[in-house]
């Protein structure tokens, strides 16, 4: 069954008789039908020839009259006359056609071709001369004209044609054709002169580069260098000529590299990169980087990479000049380059130039002030000033300039809206390093008077502590707590200072004054530090009195727990009882705690929380109390506390919004249970005993008295358990 596909050829051997394409065409011509063959006319004598020519001329003339503007008819007419060797008539036809359309390039080319085919060279020259005079912007005519003269070995004539052509300032291909013409005859000086004329007409980078490569290829390196140097002198620093200068610099450096003049090439690259804008010289940097990878050292390669980073940062800043992170990176880059320069034992002039570059970056950065007077915009910006001042102080040792940077920054910040304590403190520290304590104190005093701030007080106090000026520290702490009496941390630091100075009475007075403040931010911290202070001094009675005052004031479960544990812990004896041994070391005696006092505090705390109906706080206290008894008490004490533990239960209440019963987790304490319902308490106690016994024995005999009590108290218990 056939599937419609063509049969596959099995015999691929060549045929015994081969048929060529020429034979196929000849057979087709011979077998052509007679009705499709062109008529043949055989001329027997001169009269028939004249008759034939007359008839053809009449046909051509008729067609020309009908379509006088159709140059194709004129071309056929003229070429036919030329085929009959009637050259005067052919010239007449072509001249008549030129009268119709003298700007038809095809007509001129056909006219000249006709003359050249008939070997009328002088006529062809005259025609080309007329054509290029009439149509000087048609390059094809000039090409044909020059080619004709060169073909006739008329080299001066061809050169004259090119010279006439170049006066019309044609495109680059024409100049290159002229140069190649001179190169074919090894007239290199003439070719160089043509290049000079070319760059005078078109002073573009590609022309200069071609000229330089030409001089390099002919081996005249001096002339090539002169060409490139002349080109660089022609390009000004205008933006539209930057790309041209970049191309010339790159070609100049690559030529020196090809000649193995690596130092010359490096100097050219560095000069170009220092002259051209960094944001416009990406290609030049790429070429320089490749050059250093091939022929440079590690140091020069790193310098090239830094240059590329410069371009990257400049581009980012052109998009957003207030991107302070980029300014930080830019400044670090320049400072890193300065450090590398020092490592290379650079001259003083080179270091000064590096300092100038860093200063330029910082000056440009601080000129980009943030918009508005909102501190969140200024936080990153102010660090630019600080880094600038530290650079002038540490790197350049220009202290007057660093002081000026600090002063300018302080004038710039709107202190009525916000301030930066770090700026004031670093300025003061700078003056301390310059051994001018009066100026440092004046700066910080001005800052506190103008815009008092917690960080300013802390910085000023720390400065005076470092200087061991404790009287000034006391004065500052007084102003600090006067400015913000609610700051517990300030009271604590002030008291700790007096404690470290050995003035315990003053420290105790400060603590007392602090806890008497009604609006402390975190009073528990101050109370704790006060109690810890008395404990460290061995004043148990004073610490106990503080706890008593605190439980009255607060009554928090944590206070009760801390109070109870304090009574049980051992503490140092009063400082007056401390003695020094033979080595001069102070021997601290320890006083044991009182466990019974601790139990009493636990009990008092439990009752106080119970009176306030704080169930979860009571549960937390019982857990700590139980752990305390496990560590320090007897099993009976532990059992007593466990007996006070609450039992989890569920209570039901009616939701006011939905009107439905809602179950809440709750705790039921035994003492409350006994007071409210003794029967239910007895029932729950029996239930717990039964549950504990069940855990120990798998089989438990029933207890009839439990069942009787359960029947009697089921209604009461349900009110507590919700069952």
* Interval 650-699: pLDDT, tens: 777 777 777 677 766 667 776 665 555 555 555 556 666 776 676 555 44
Per-residue pLDDT averaged across 326-333, rounded? 88
Confidence band for 707, pLDDT divided at 50, 70 and 90: very low
Q: How much is the pLDDT for 709?
A: 35
Specify the pairing of strand 661-668 against strand 586-587.
Answer: unpaired
b/e code 228-265 from CB counts within 10 Å (16+ = b): bebbbebbeeeeeebbbbbbbbbbbbbbbbeeebbebb
Residue 36 has pLDDT above 60, yes or no: no
Identify the CA nearest to 507 among candidates 542, 533, 481, 485: 533
Per-residue pLDDT averaged across 15-36, rounded? 72
Element (H, E) at 579: strand 579-580
Q: Model pTM?
A: 0.56
3-state class (DSSP) for residue 512: helix
Contact 132, 142 (CB under 8 A): yes
Contact 191, 183 (CB under 8 A): yes
Identify the CA nearest to 379 among candidates 322, 432, 334: 322
Residue 457 has pLDDT above 60, yes or no: yes
Cα 712 from Cα 708, distance rounded (Å):
6
Per-residue pLDDT averaged across 395-419, rounded? 90
Q: How much is the pLDDT for 582?
A: 59
Kindly give the residue spans of alpha helices, DSSP state H, lying in 1-86. 21-30, 46-66, 71-83
pLDDT digits (tens, 9 = 90+) for 546-562: 888 888 888 888 989 89
Of these ranges, 92-106, 253-267, 677-691, the one predicted with the greatest mean pLDDT is: 92-106
Per-residue pLDDT averaged across 329-354, rounded? 80
Residue 344 has pLDDT above 90, yes or no: no
Residue 460 has pLDDT above 50, yes or no: yes
Residue 496 has pLDDT above 80, yes or no: yes
* Lowest pLDDT segment from 22-36, 449-463, 680-694: 680-694
The number of CA neighbours under 13 Å toward the Cβ of 625 is 28
Contact 98, 107 (CB under 8 A): yes
Q: Average pLDDT, whole number, for the chain?
A: 80
Per-residue pLDDT averaged across 243-247, rounded? 74
Residue 386 has pLDDT above 90, yes or no: yes
Q: How much is the pLDDT for 349?
A: 81
Residue 461 has pLDDT above 50, yes or no: yes
Q: How much is the pLDDT for 714?
A: 36
Cα 141 from Cα 642, distance rounded (Å):
121
Q: What is the DSSP letter of 12?
A: -
* Lowest pLDDT segment from 238-252, 372-386, 406-420, 660-674: 660-674
Strand partners, 280: none
Q: How much is the pLDDT for 652?
A: 72
Instruction: Tell which wins on pLDDT, 582 or 159.
Output: 159
Tokens of 516: 């008497």
Q: How much is the pLDDT for 385?
A: 92
Q: How much is the pLDDT for 162?
A: 92
Cα 308 from Cα 305, distance rounded (Å):
5
Q: How much is the pLDDT for 637?
A: 86
Residue 703 has pLDDT above 50, yes or no: no
pLDDT digits (tens, 9 = 90+) for 568-609: 888 877 776 666 655 656 666 777 888 888 889 888 888 888
Contact 306, 269 (CB under 8 A): no
Per-residue pLDDT averaged across 521-545, rounded? 86
Confidence band for 715, pLDDT divided at 50, 70 and 90: very low
- Determine phi and psi for 499, rounding to 5 degrees: -65, -40
Residue 404 has pLDDT above 90, yes or no: yes
Cα 135 from Cα 325, distance rounded (Å):
64
Q: How much is the pLDDT for 209?
A: 86
680 Cβ contact partners less than 8 Å away, ≥ 6 residues apart: 673, 713, 716, 717, 720
Cα angle 219, 222, 223; round to 5: 80
Residue 711 has pLDDT above 90, yes or no: no
Confidence band for 400, pLDDT divided at 50, 70 and 90: very high
Q: How much is the pLDDT for 160?
A: 92
Start-to-end Cα distance in the chain: 91
Kindly give the residue spans of alpha helices, DSSP state H, lying in 504-556. 504-515, 523-536, 540-553
Q: How much is the pLDDT for 407?
A: 92
Q: How much is the pLDDT for 41?
A: 64
Contact 618, 566 (CB under 8 A): no
Q: What percent of the chain has pLDDT over 70?
A: 81
Tokens of 67: 């379509």
Q: How much is the pLDDT for 673?
A: 56
Q: How much is the pLDDT for 348?
A: 80
Per-residue pLDDT averaged across 481-490, rounded? 88
30 Cβ contact partners less than 8 Å away, ≥ 6 residues apart: none
Residue 498 has pLDDT above 70, yes or no: yes
Instruction: Tell which wins on pLDDT, 207 or 583.
Output: 207
Confidence band for 69, pLDDT divided at 50, 70 and 90: confident
Task: Determine the longest span between alpha carbons in the chain, in angstroms.
Answer: 164
Q: How much is the pLDDT for 427?
A: 92
Confidence band for 612, pLDDT divided at 50, 70 and 90: confident
Confidence band for 101, pLDDT divided at 50, 70 and 90: confident
Residue 649 zone, left/alpha/beta (φ > 0; ψ -120 to 50; rest): beta
Tokens of 707: 């069942």
Tokens of 31: 């077998």
Residue 399 has pLDDT above 70, yes or no: yes
């Amino acid at each position: 069954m056939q599937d419609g596909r063509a049969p596959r050829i099995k015999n691929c051997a060549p045929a015994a008789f081969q048929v060529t394409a020429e034979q196929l065409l000849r057979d087709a011509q011979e077998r052509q039908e007679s009705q499709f063959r062109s008529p043949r006319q055989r001329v027997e004598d001169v009269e028939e020839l004249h008759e034939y020519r007359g008839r053809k001329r009449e046909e051509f003339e008729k067609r020309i009259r009908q379509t006088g503007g159709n140059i194709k008819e004129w071309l056929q007419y003229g070429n036919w006359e030329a085929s009959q060797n009637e050259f005067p008539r052919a010239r007449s036809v072509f001249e008549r056609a030129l009268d119709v359309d003298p700007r038809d390039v095809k007509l001129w080319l056909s006219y000249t071709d006709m003359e050249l085919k008939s070997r009328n060279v002088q006529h062809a020259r005259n025609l080309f001369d007329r054509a290029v005079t009439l149509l000087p912007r048609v390059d094809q005519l000039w090409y044909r004209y020059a080619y004709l003269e060169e073909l006739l070995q008329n080299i001066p004539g061809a050169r004259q044609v090119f010279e006439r052509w170049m006066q019309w300032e044609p495109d680059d291909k024409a100049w290159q054709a002229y140069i190649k013409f001179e190169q074919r005859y090894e007239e290199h000086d003439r070719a160089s002169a043509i290049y000079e004329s070319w760059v005078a007409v078109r002073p573009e980078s590609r022309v200069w580069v071609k000229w330089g490569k030409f001089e390099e290829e002919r081996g005249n390196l001096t002339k090539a260098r002169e060409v490139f140097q002349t080109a660089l002198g022609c390009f000004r620093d205008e933006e539209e000529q930057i790309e041209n200068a970049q191309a010339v610099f790159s070609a100049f450096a690559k030529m020196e590299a090809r000649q193995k003049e690596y130092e010359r090439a490096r100097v050219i690259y560095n000069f170009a990169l220092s002259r051209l804008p960094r944001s416009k010289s990406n290609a030049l940097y790429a070429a320089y980087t490749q050059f250093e990878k091939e022929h440079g050292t590690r140091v020069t390669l790193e310098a090239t990479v830094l240059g590329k980073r410069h371009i990257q940062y400049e581009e980012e800043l052109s998009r957003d000049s207030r991107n302070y992170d980029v300014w930080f990176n830019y400044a670090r880059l320049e400072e890193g380059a300065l450090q590398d320069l020092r490592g290379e034992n650079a001259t003083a002039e080179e270091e000064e130039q590096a300092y100038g570059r860093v200063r330029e970056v910082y000056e440009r950065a601080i000129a980009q002030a943030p918009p508005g007077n909102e501190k969140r915009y200024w936080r990153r910006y102010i660090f630019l000033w600080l880094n600038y001042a530290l650079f002038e102080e540490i790197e350049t040792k220009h202290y007057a300039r660093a002081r000026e940077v600090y002063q300018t920054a302080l004038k710039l910040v709107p202190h009525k809206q916000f301030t930066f304590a770090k700026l004031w403190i670093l300025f003061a520290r700078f003056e301390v390093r310059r051994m001018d304590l009066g100026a440092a104190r004046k700066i910080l005093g001005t800052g506190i008077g103008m815009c008092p701030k917690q960080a300013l007080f802390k910085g000023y106090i720390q400065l005076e502590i470092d200087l061991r000026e404790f009287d000034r520290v006391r004065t500052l702490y007084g102003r600090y707590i006067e400015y913000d009496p609610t700051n517990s941390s300030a009271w604590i630091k002030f008291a700790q200072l007096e404690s470290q100075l050995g003035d315990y009475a003053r420290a105790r007075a400060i603590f007392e004054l602090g806890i008497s403040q009604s609006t402390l931010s975190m009073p528990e911290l101050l109370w704790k530090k006060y109690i810890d202070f008395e404990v460290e001094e061995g004043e148990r009675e004073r610490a106990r009195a503080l706890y008593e005052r605190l439980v009255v004031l607060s009554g928090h479960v944590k206070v009760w727990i801390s109070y109870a544990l304090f009574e049980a812990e051992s503490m140092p004896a009063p400082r007056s009882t401390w003695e020094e041994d033979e080595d001069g070391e102070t021997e601290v005696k320890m006083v044991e705690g009182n466990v019974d006092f601790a139990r009493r505090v636990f009990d008092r705390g439990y009752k106080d929380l119970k009176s306030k109906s704080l169930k979860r706080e009571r549960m937390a206290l019982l857990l700590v109390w139980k752990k305390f008894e496990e560590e320090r008490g007897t099993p009976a004490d532990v059992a007593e506390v466990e007996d006070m533990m609450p039992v989890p239960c569920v209570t039901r209440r009616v939701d006011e919004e939905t009107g439905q019963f809602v179950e809440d987790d709750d705790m039921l304490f035994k003492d409350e249970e006994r007071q409210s319902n003794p029967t239910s308490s007895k029932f729950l106690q029996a239930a717990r005993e039964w549950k504990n016994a069940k855990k120990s024995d798998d089989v438990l005999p029933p207890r009839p008295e439990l069942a009787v009590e359960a029947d009697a108290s089921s209604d009461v218990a349900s009110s507590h358990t919700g069952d």
